[in-house]
Amino acid sequence: MIAGIGIDIIDVQRMRNIVEKETGARFLDRTFSEREKEYCSTFKDPLPRFAGRFAAKEAFVKASSSFLKGIALKDIETLNASSGAPGIAVLKGDFDSSRYACHVSISHTETYACACVVIEVKEGVAHDKCK
């Protein structure tokens, strides 16, 4: 059963403007984990990757909004599996990964980044908070 679906799109130039300002490093530190920053920094232009991960975090918040409250973006970590597929881990809060599976898709160009998150209730698990 689907517990939630979220989608988000980010203008990469907007992200670039934020990061290039004096507070840019603070924004990255407040929003991304060390592992996310390390991954994105391996690319010649890391901003489309940061924007994609930001979109994934926002999409996760939207997808989980009916049953998960008060989670900070930094507590949502978007990393790639060894296959390259993106995934989400919730570092703090009451999101129970034994109950839910997160399916994540991220795409970006030089101009835009978008992400879609589908949260699925795992088979055999009751989900009374979802209508």
**Catalytic residue numbers, as ranges:** 62, 108
CA-based nearest residue to 76, from 95, 50, 98, 101? 95
* Residues sharing a CB contact under 8 Å with residue 76, sequence separation 6 or more, in sequence order: 56, 57, 60, 61, 88, 89, 90, 91
**Which amino acid is present at 54?**
F
Do 68 and 93 meet the contact criterion of CB atoms below 8 Å apart? Answer: yes
- How far apart are alpha carbons 52 and 108 in whole angstroms? 6
- How far apart are alpha carbons 74 and 59 in whole angstroms? 14
- Structural tokens at position 35: 């592992």
